[in-house]
A and B are shown apart, each in its own frame.
Chain A
Amino acid sequence: MEDRRRGRPGICLGLGMLMIAFASSATSEEETPSLDGYSTASDACAVPCREKWVAKAYFDKFGSLEDAAFEHYRDAELTRCSCEMQPLDLRDAFKLSDLDRRLTGDGSHRSLFTSIRISVDEELAAKSPFRFCEVVLVERLPSGVFADPFELQHIRDRGVYGEVAVFGDANLELPSFLSNRTLVEVHMFFSPNNLLEQMNGLEIKVDVPVHARYQALDGSGYSAVQFGEPDVFARCSMEQRSSNQSHFFVLTSNGAAISYKNPIVWKIPSGIETHAGFVSVVTFLSASLSALVIIVASVFHSGIKLHKNVKTL
């Protein structure tokens, strides 16, 4: 069973330009961000952008994942980093030409598959001083679904991901109504030079194993869990895996029309509330009956009777 969704990259990628700034002035056409409690502009620029993990600063501040708060953080605090001139050519050099999402597998353990195709403007890319880039895919998993951080680490150790981190609720045993949401951040590395050599651009595939929590009781017997859109960023640097002197930018669409279809919905089995009374009664009766049978067998155990029987064996 799978759900497909092809979404406009611009919907989730319509962010301002992100910059890690060391200079004090900003010359972008967008609104100059306020300092909002930071003592200097460089501090304001540096805080979330120097972090290896995009979502870390959010969770340090808020603790749990909520869409409205995260989107505000994404749009306001991450965009604060537009403090030095963003080479306009850079964001035009790499474009998102396709984004495909599917939920694959059956049962309580599935995979959220995301395919990102990046096209490159050869002329602009050749001018870019950056040699190392990474796509940062941020999946905000809905309530009722979680990712196992240790499983993802194992996948990373096998070389499937560049880097991966899980934020949010780490208790994997709690049902959905007693747990918080999970956020998965996946970094996939690519080299602009390699991208130039590929005719059709670069396709990055990310498969995130996800697991269903026990859902709240539902009369229908199933609970529908809907996945939202991922947030996709990119970061390029001159040095490998360095968050300093690197530049965030948004992978915007290259203008290709992408049709929108139904969102990804996962129907997870849930308990039925009307069963509660019957199940409780039968459970206790069964336990009591079994206990009674064992007690009777023990009390009337023929430890003495066997004196006669053993001799005949």
Chain B
Amino acid sequence: MRLIFADRGHCDLLALVASELQNRPKWWQYTFIPASVSVMVTVDMRSLLLFSAFLRVFLIVYGEWQDKHMEVRYTDVDYFVFSDAADLMASGKSPYERTTYRYSPLLAFLLLPNTFLHRSWGKFLFSASDLLVGVFIYTILKKCSVPKNICTYCVMAWLLNPFTFTIGTRGNCEPIVCAIILWIVICLMNGNLLQAAVWYGLVVHFRIYPIIYAPTLVLVLNHHFFCLGQKPVLRIWSSGPSKKHECSTAATELNVLVAIKCIFSRERIIFGVISAAVFFFSTGISFFLYKWEFLHEALLYHLTRTDPRHNFSIYFYHIYLHYEREFSVLEKLISFLPQFMVQLVLVLRFARDLPFCLFVQTVAFVAFNKVITAQYFVWFFCLLPLILPWSTINFKWKGLCCIFLWMGAQTHWLMWGYLLEFKGKNVFVELWMASLVFLAANTCVLVVMISNHTYSPLFQPLKQNSSEQGLKQE
């Protein structure tokens, strides 16, 4: 961390500060000490990573102590499920003998050292992935010429988010998925189509939800902007908003006929074939080893999951009230329609602005899902730092309002959930209404973010900007 002290009499330094401020998004502010001293605080990325690593190690050690000495455990219940599954795998048995293990056998394989080394191995692995996400965020933003300090602050939004550092240290595996998704973005930014496809196939096998990114990834591989064997031209942050001709290009993506004509490009076919091959290969091996139990628990369960128990989703009470009878096909289609339409429009509208599209897709997917648990929020938290430099939201007060609205709606739901689960009050209706409020809050925040986002395609047209390749941040 660097502290620069300047007296108000030092006009040169203040002029420098003023010019830098002019180019910053409004949400990003310097902190000034009043009176005669101006202070500019900068955070070094290395220090941030070291501090974050130390924090996570401390929490893991503390978690072990709490688990041993207190009745309420720090460690997530899921971590014990993973560990037990890994123990079973280590002894040559199926990990699916462990009830509620509903993940790829790959996860149990990664946690085999829990059995041989130490039971905390998995937590260290997940926390390391968590730190890797921070590094990847920094890398992606630097590639777009985002100033170093803004990059670091965006990384702080991930590394110092209480959701994220508790998720990994409690033993949840979502950081691995987040790291892989960001790595896919980096691969594409580097022009490594094959590697991106392999990792995408693998992450969909590992966790089903990234399948929603398939249309986006296919659309972004437009031949005009991404060519196999050629490094793509990336957007540059300081160049401001997208130019008119790019916007008209973006507008033509809404032309269905043009989209259909361009859809079968070489890059798209290669990406689709390789990622599908990796997915089916991984799934095939898992099926060969663990048969229908794997297929049902790791894949089909997630595709058809409806949980009648209370969760953030607006559908939970509807599902509970109808659980004694099967839903008709029509009812299932109707409930799926809002989700489908939102995803379709978001993809068609924002696909070329890849990080932003992934973000809004994930928020919408989680908000309209049949089951919502707190760990799902990590899916879009890792993408949020990638879009902040292109947001025109003022931290004071629009940004703060969005944060308080979202957290307030969540807290409101948690209050009713507490009364139901821990006080035994029949507040199903109130809890369901709180979930409606939470959906409204998600919708509101999403609309604000869309409205205040500077649309900026990740890849610039190859031919028209070939002369700008020398200006690339790399």
Measured CB to CB, the residues of A under 8 A from B are 1, 106-109, 150, 154, 170-173, 175, 177-178, 214, 216-217, 221-222, 267-273, 275-276, 279-280, 282-284, 286-288, 290-291, 293-295, 297-299, 301-304, 306-307, 309-310, 313
Bound CA–CA A109/B341 (angstroms): 40
In-complex Cβ contact of B447 among A222, A272, A297, A313 (8 A)? A297
Number of CB contacts from chain A to chain B under 8 A? 157
Q: A269, B439: Cβ atoms under 8 Å?
A: no
Chain A residues within an 8 Å CB radius of B309: 173, 214
Chain B residues within an 8 Å CB radius of A214: 308-309, 320, 323
* Segment of B189-197, B407-415, B417-425 engaged in the interface with chain A: B417-425
Q: A214-B308, A283-B318, A298-B450 are in contact. Are A290 and B422 (CB under 8 A)?
A: no
Chain B residues within an 8 Å CB radius of A270: 426
Q: Mark B62-80, 1 if CB is under 8 A from A, else 0.
A: 0000000000010001001
Q: B421, A284: Cβ atoms under 8 Å?
A: no
Chain A residues within an 8 Å CB radius of B428: 269, 271-272, 275
Chain B residues within an 8 Å CB radius of A109: 421-422
Question: Besides A107-B424, A294-B346, 18 other CB < 8 A contacts?
Answer: A107-B423, A175-B308, A177-B324, A214-B320, A221-B426, A269-B424, A273-B321, A275-B321, A276-B321, A279-B317, A284-B335, A286-B436, A287-B314, A288-B337, A290-B338, A290-B367, A291-B368, A301-B455
Q: A276-B321, A299-B345, A303-B455 are in contact. Are A282 and B436 (CB under 8 A)?
A: yes
Measured CB to CB, the residues of B under 8 A from A are 26, 73, 77, 80, 84, 99-100, 240-242, 244, 247, 250, 307-309, 314-315, 317-318, 320-324, 334-335, 337-339, 341-342, 345-346, 349-350, 360, 364, 367-368, 392, 420-429, 432, 436, 439-440, 442-443, 446-447, 450-451, 453-455
Bound CA–CA A221/B443 (angstroms): 31
Q: A303, B250: Cβ atoms under 8 Å?
A: yes
Bound CA–CA A309/B77 (angstroms): 49
Bound CA–CA A222/B244 (angstroms): 62
Bound CA–CA A273/B424 (angstroms): 19
Q: B314, A286: Cβ atoms under 8 Å?
A: yes
**Chain A nearest CB: distance from B75 CB in Å?**
10
Q: A307, B244: Cβ atoms under 8 Å?
A: yes
Q: A280, B242: Cβ atoms under 8 Å?
A: no
Chain A residue nearest to B23 (CB atoms) is A313
Chain A residues within an 8 Å CB radius of B73: 154
**Chain B nearest CB: distance from A281 CB in Å?**
10
In-complex Cβ contact of A283 among B80, B314, B324, B453 (8 A)? B314
Chain B residue nearest to A212 (CB atoms) is B424
Q: B99, A303: Cβ atoms under 8 Å?
A: no
Q: 24 A-B residue contacts at CB 8 Å?
A: A106-B423, A107-B420, A108-B424, A217-B324, A269-B426, A270-B426, A272-B428, A276-B321, A279-B321, A280-B318, A283-B317, A286-B436, A287-B439, A290-B442, A291-B341, A294-B364, A294-B450, A295-B341, A295-B345, A298-B345, A301-B453, A306-B454, A307-B241, A313-B392
Chain A residues within an 8 Å CB radius of B421: 107-109
Bound CA–CA A177/B324 (angstroms): 8
Q: A107, B422: Cβ atoms under 8 Å?
A: yes
Q: A172, B100: Cβ atoms under 8 Å?
A: yes
In-complex Cβ contact of B451 among A175, A282, A302 (8 A)? A302
Q: B242, A303: Cβ atoms under 8 Å?
A: yes
Chain A residues within an 8 Å CB radius of B341: 291, 295
Chain A residues within an 8 Å CB radius of B318: 276, 279-280, 283
In-complex Cβ contact of B322 among A280, A291, A306 (8 A)? A280
In-complex Cβ contact of B432 among A175, A279, A310 (8 A)? A279
Chain A residue nearest to B429 (CB atoms) is A275
Bound CA–CA A276/B318 (angstroms): 7
Q: B320, A310: Cβ atoms under 8 Å?
A: no
**Chain A nearest CB: distance from B402 CB in Å?**
14
**Chain A nearest CB: distance from B332 CB in Å?**
12
Chain A residue nearest to B314 (CB atoms) is A283
Q: Max chain B CB contacts within 10 Å: which of A109, A271, A293, A309?
A: A271
Q: A294, B422: Cβ atoms under 8 Å?
A: no
Bound CA–CA A269/B427 (angstroms): 8
**Chain B nearest CB: distance from A305 CB in Å?**
10
Bound CA–CA A302/B392 (angstroms): 12
Chain A residue nearest to B367 (CB atoms) is A290
Bound CA–CA A276/B331 (angstroms): 14
Bound CA–CA A273/B429 (angstroms): 12
Chain B residues within an 8 Å CB radius of A1: 424
Bound CA–CA A276/B432 (angstroms): 12
**Chain B nearest CB: distance from A142 CB in Å?**
16
Chain A residue nearest to B67 (CB atoms) is A154
Bound CA–CA A68/B426 (angstroms): 33
Chain B residues within an 8 Å CB radius of A279: 317-318, 321, 429, 432
Chain A residue nearest to B455 (CB atoms) is A303
Chain B residues within an 8 Å CB radius of A267: 424
